[in-house]
């Protein structure tokens, strides 16, 4: 699966007020994942390559920026695991794992795990449904 396959606007089944928008920038070399609540951006993840690696940098409302590197599983799931972080204070929680899977029905399963002082937290999963574009 390619991250560019996610370009577009998505509704989030579990959180009605939240929309997730994937959009290309920098001549298509970067994909932005914007979490929008109404017209306000809540958080941002930037996907780009670093040599042969696909990197996700998550700009968290907590103020830290974990960087995760991707591997592709046999089922086509993009799995990102923690590589390093900037502005991570001791004892602060941070995004450690992220996965994106395009399901056979066209929805996307987006799962993430945050780690904190006690280790891994619970994985949270969101189900994304593509918003139909006018005229599509």
Contacts of 91 (CB under 8 A, 6+ apart): 116, 117
Residue 19: domain span: 3-130
Pairwise pLDDT comparison (106 vs 135), residue with the higher score: 106
The answer to whether 116 and 3 have CB atoms below 8 angstroms apart is no
pLDDT of 136 reads 54
> For residue range 70-92, what is the model confidence (pLDDT) as tens digits?
987 778 899 999 999 999 998 89
Domain for residue 135, yes or no?
no
Q: Domain count of the chain?
A: 1
Assess if residue 102 is contained within a domain: yes
Domain assignment present for 39: yes
- In this predicted structure, the answer to whether residue 61 has a pLDDT above a threshold of 80 is yes
- Judged against a pLDDT cut of 90, whether residue 113 lies above it is answered with yes
Domain assignment present for residue 136? The answer is no
Residue 51 lies in a domain: yes
Read off the pTM. Answer: 0.89
Domain of 54, CATH number, reads 2.40.128.20
């Amino acid at each position: 699966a390619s991250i560019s396959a996610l370009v577009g606007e998505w509704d989030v089944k579990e959180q009605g007020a939240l929309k997730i928008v994937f959009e290309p920038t920098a001549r298509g070399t970067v994909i932005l994942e914007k979490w929008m609540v109404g017209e306000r951006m809540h958080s941002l993840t930037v996907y780009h390559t670093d040599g042969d690696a696909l990197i996700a940098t998550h700009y968290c409302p907590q103020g830290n920026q974990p960087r995760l590197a991707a591997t592709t599983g046999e089922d086509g799931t993009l799995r990102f695991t923690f590589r390093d972080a900037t502005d991570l204070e001791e004892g602060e929680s941070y995004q450690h794992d992220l996965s994106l899977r395009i399901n056979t029905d066209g929805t996307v399963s987006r799962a993430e795990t945050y780690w904190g002082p006690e280790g891994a937290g619970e994985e949270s999963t969101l189900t994304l449904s593509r918003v139909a574009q006018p005229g599509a």
